[in-house]
Chains A and B, each alone.
Chain A
Amino acid sequence: MARFIIRSLIGTVVTMLLVSATLFFLLEVGSGDVTVKILGIESTPEQRASYRAQLGLDAPAWQRYLDWLIGNDRRASTLVGYPLRTIKNEQTGEAEWWADVNGQFTRWQLKEGRLFELRRQPNGSATEHLTSGGWEADETGAEVFWGVDRDNRAVKWVRGSGETVWIRTKAGFRREGDGPREYIPLRKGLTRGDAGQSLQTGRPVAVTLFPRVRNTLVLAGVAFLIVMPLALFFGILAGINEGKPLDRFISVTSLGATATPEFVTGVFLILIFGVWLRVLPAASIFTSADAIFRDPTLLALPVMTLTAVELGYVARMTRASMVEVMAAPYIRTAIIKGMPYPRVVLRHALRNALMAPITVIMLHVNWLIGGVVVVEVIFGFPGLGKYIYDSAIFGDFNAVEAAAMLTVTIAVITRILGDLAYTFLNPRIRYA
């Protein structure tokens, strides 16, 4: 058993690496210029180039993939010359990067051509100090300085580079254009628990991803708890009544419900319960983050839609499996020897009949969590499926990767659970 689990875990890691690399390169090829989506088509090519650099998108693809995987703070640290650390900003709850200059957390800012040190105080604010030194000549002779800026990036400032624009101020003239010339947006990498910034929202992926995952888990959990017992019940009922009117009724109804696409079922349910009768919310409008708990009726129509779609699959699978088992010689023997019928069904037939439905059920857990995009779009339900879809359309690499890693993990866990359920249902199955 231990070997089985270890092998599964290794398999999981390999799968995740392959999925992440494949996704990365697909997005690389397919998603076009993200900066146009952020800055709009009226932005100039220079503005887009500058913004690409600020996002770190001008680095080669392999570099960005490695940064995503293992982080880039060590690389940046050698450039800056000090260890780099993250501290949580109490106000925003997001992590901030600072350079650890002999115990003093420091960032830098270039203002009006002069370099300032921002020294972090214990209360989270920073004090400004003019600094003179620190500029070093590079191979071309230009004076450069590597530091950490206020936007969590390691930045190379080049003195006197860029176009020189003379700005008239109260104090006289000053030159503008000492802007940063190279950026490394700092990150720890997924292996150290940092999924990076979402390009679409400009916030850490985790901040937006986790509410979505929570919503989806609630939706999927409720749907699962309603659909599966019902489906198994109707499947068994139909299976032991094979060919009778009850079986025909259950089979035809469940087939009809499953054959109707969820966008049809969903729209009908909205029109009947949301618009006409006005008894249930027609859309999943979350006016606060925990709306789903304050007003559980928000779940009613999405769960009903999922039930209609799911019920038939599992019920029909259970029925078929049940019919097959009920025809087996050992069941006939059990009945002939005078065992009570309910006991034959529940103790002898059911265990074997559940093997096939368990596989389907476990696959459907995955589908409920990552794949119910259509239902989420119909109801405007802020869930994981829609998150992945929107991120992929935008070309938001970090968000897609993080969500994909999550769904891969869930897929693997449900598979392991399914495998364990087999051993429980059929003790002859052993994993080694």
Chain B
Amino acid sequence: MNKPQIDKKKLEAIHPYIPAAYELLEQKRISRREFIRTATLLGMTAGFASFAAACAGAPATQAPPAAQDTPAAASGIKRGGVWRASMRLQLLDHPARLSWVEGANIVRQTNEYLSETGPDNITRPYLLDRWEASADVKTWDLYLKQGIKFNNGDTFTADDVIFTMKEWLNPDVGSSMLGLLSALESSANIDKVDDYHIRLHLNTGDIAIPEYLFHYPAVILHRGFEGDIVKKPVGTGAFTLQEYAEGERAVFKRRSDYWQMGADGQSLPYLDELIFVSTDKDAGVAALQSGQVDTLYDPRPSDFQALKDVSGLTVRPVSTAQCLVLRMRVDLEPWSDNRVRTALKLCQDRAKILQLSYFGEGALSLDAHMAPIHPEYCERPIPGYQPDEARKLLEAYAAEKGISLPLKVTLATKNDQAEPEISQALKELAAPAGFDITLDITDPGGYWDRWTEVDLGITSWTHRPLATMVLPLAYTEESIGAWNETRWFDEEFTTLLRQAQATLDVEARRAIMCKLEDIMQDRGPIGNSYWKNVWNITRSEFQNVKAHPTAYYLMNDVWKDA
């Protein structure tokens, strides 16, 4: 009768999302098949996944979940209601030109993406039915879902996708998709095989094409798009845009003929209306506390502190690959010496830094730019605080150079979310090791003007779904002059990275990632104490709300339990 128990720690070691998926399976909220698919995508072996799935067959001691806990239960879902958010609204014309997530949260209600990277950081087909990549990952076949209609009645076909891709690749449009899809080179490399099948020919292999297709400016436009989505808001999405006033508000109404079906058998969405009101964060916090809005876009840590205990609000944390990188210029003294770099890395008391600068709301990190939420992440022990080791390294360096400790260095950063606290903590933590750190903290604009130039600095890096998407940006020889702020590159690292970029299989990629992480820890240019959490804070009557690492609002199946 006794079923073997699955150790959730073991599951977590494979990927941080797997325990959550396992819980969903235990509560019968996802199917066994879905769990296995997710778990294997995340790097669990198929055998172990099936074994775990078999174990999850709801232990007899556990009561079956109540209907309210099961969003998928058709009986519990209510339709109707208005959802109001506080979020800044700025210029919005050409979605491909978007450079801010807030604008993407507007267009994603009316227009949709080919793929979707979910809150679990896994990318799945969305407007696409499926994709296929060649062995060298240079040829990508994209198969479109059929029977989807735009809100003007037109049928969604390959022509719309090709039109949109051409807009991305047109330099005059100014889309950041142009840089991401550089391997595509020009629109001549997009083939329309038939009305629902497109083939992309890349110059170099790239496994991240599905992730790029969910980059926030990548919504699919109608083939007759004329450059301003506000004037002609035609899309396949679940809502229609009623009003958009920059700096004021955006209003959406439910569309009645949307292609996705809800759990109750009728078409989505459940909500009748979405209203975004443009306010500053402080006003948004007050409005959320007094019940004037239902959610606040991307709360800051201080907002989280203010709101976490307010009754009637539900806080959903999600771990991200956002981090504050302590980076050292390896082309300048003293950081050109690996002993000095290692010494400073050893001076990070990660738990303390996380506590002091971010209220303990994050996951501790290696000194490498790969996060546990990345599917290919390779588990390694988190280094501890070792000031004595650090001092030995620094003494050796000082003796060789004929200088005396303490070593005077200047740490530059910006007074943004948590940087001043990190730098202050590091100054104190590194003093026993023989560092004398002077702080040079400016406003964010002042730092972004010189972020690639300072000797020693703390730079904030945003979330990207794959480690292979971020590493080429900052840790290769080609990226010097662009985003390689440390000037560090390493032959072995680059070779392995190129291999990883061409390896579609997650398990094989993880094996490479283990080596890459070790290289970065051994001789890399960065220290990294933690990965930030972000929070979705929404009034508790809203169900099916998903906290997304990049604060995306996915509203299709949210419903209000009024």
Contacts and interface: CB of A to CB of B under 8 A. Distances in A.
Interface of A: 32, 35, 38-44, 46-48, 50-51, 54, 91-92, 150-151, 165-168, 176, 179, 198-203, 208, 211, 270, 274-275, 278, 281-289, 377-380, 382, 387, 390
A421 B344 CA distance: 70
B226 interface: yes
B275 A287 contact: yes
Given A270-B286, A283-B283, A377-B282, 16 more contacts: A39-B99, A39-B174, A40-B176, A41-B448, A43-B176, A48-B174, A51-B174, A150-B227, A165-B188, A201-B246, A208-B248, A275-B286, A275-B289, A283-B292, A289-B248, A380-B286
A44 B292 CA distance: 41
16 contacts: A38-B97, A38-B99, A38-B174, A42-B176, A44-B178, A47-B171, A92-B231, A165-B188, A176-B187, A200-B91, A202-B93, A270-B290, A275-B286, A283-B290, A285-B279, A382-B278
Contacts, number: 143
Contacts of B186: 165, 167
Which 8 A-B pairs have CB atoms at the shortest separation, nearest pair first? Answer: A40-B99, A380-B283, A380-B279, A201-B246, A282-B290, A283-B287, A282-B286, A42-B176
Interface string B233-251: 0000000000001111101
A44 B169 CA distance: 12
B284 interface: yes
A281 B100 CA distance: 29
Contacts of B98: 40
Contacts of A51: 172, 174
B81 interface: no
Contacts of A378: 282-283
Interface string B509-540: 00000000000000000000000000000000
B277 to A, nearest CB: 5
B245 A179 contact: no
A26 to B, nearest CB: 16
B287 A50 contact: no
B226 A150 contact: yes
Contacts of A165: 186-188
A306 B99 CA distance: 37
Nearest to B217: A40
A285 B99 contact: no
Interface in B259-303: 275, 277-280, 282-284, 286-287, 289-293
Nearest to A381: B283
Contacts of A150: 226-227
Contact of B279 (A42, A198, A283, A289): A283
B90 interface: yes
Nearest to A394: B90
Nearest to B227: A151
Interface of B: 84, 86, 90-93, 97-100, 171-176, 178-179, 186-188, 226-228, 231, 245-249, 251, 275, 277-280, 282-284, 286-287, 289-293, 445, 448
Name B's interface SS: loop
Contact of B179 (A42, A50, A211, A283): A42
A387 B187 contact: no
Contacts of B100: 40
Contacts of A270: 286, 290
Contacts of B282: 377-378, 380
A282 B289 contact: yes
Contact of B247 (A50, A168, A382): A382
A380 B285 CA distance: 10
B99 A42 contact: yes
B84 A380 contact: no
B292 A46 contact: no
B286 A283 contact: yes
B70 to A, nearest CB: 32
A51 B99 CA distance: 14
A285 B171 contact: no
Contacts of B251: 288
Nearest to A277: B290
Contacts of A274: 286, 289-290
A168 B188 CA distance: 6
A390 B278 CA distance: 12
Contact of A203 (B175, B246, B249, B293): B246
B479 to A, nearest CB: 13
A199 B93 CA distance: 12
Nearest to B285: A283
Contacts of B249: 286-289
Nearest to A36: B99
A39 B171 CA distance: 12
Contacts of B175: 47
Given A201-B90, A275-B286, A377-B283, A287 B84 contact: yes
A151 B92 CA distance: 15
Nearest to A44: B179
A47 B178 contact: yes
A46 B91 CA distance: 21
A200 B246 contact: yes
Contacts of A281: 287, 290, 292
A278 B312 CA distance: 14
Given A43-B99, A283-B283, A38 B91 contact: yes
A377 B280 contact: yes
Contacts of A284: 283
Contacts of B445: 32
Contacts of A39: 97, 99, 174, 176
A201 B246 CA distance: 6
Contacts of B280: 377, 380
B76 to A, nearest CB: 28
A319 to B, nearest CB: 35
B83 to A, nearest CB: 11
Given A275-B289, A378-B283, A200 B188 contact: no
A380 B279 CA distance: 5
A338 B84 CA distance: 67
Contacts of B84: 285, 287
Contacts of A380: 86, 279-280, 282-284, 286-287
B172 A54 contact: yes
A334 B278 CA distance: 59
A288 B100 CA distance: 24
Contacts of A203: 246
A285 B178 contact: no
A271 B275 CA distance: 25
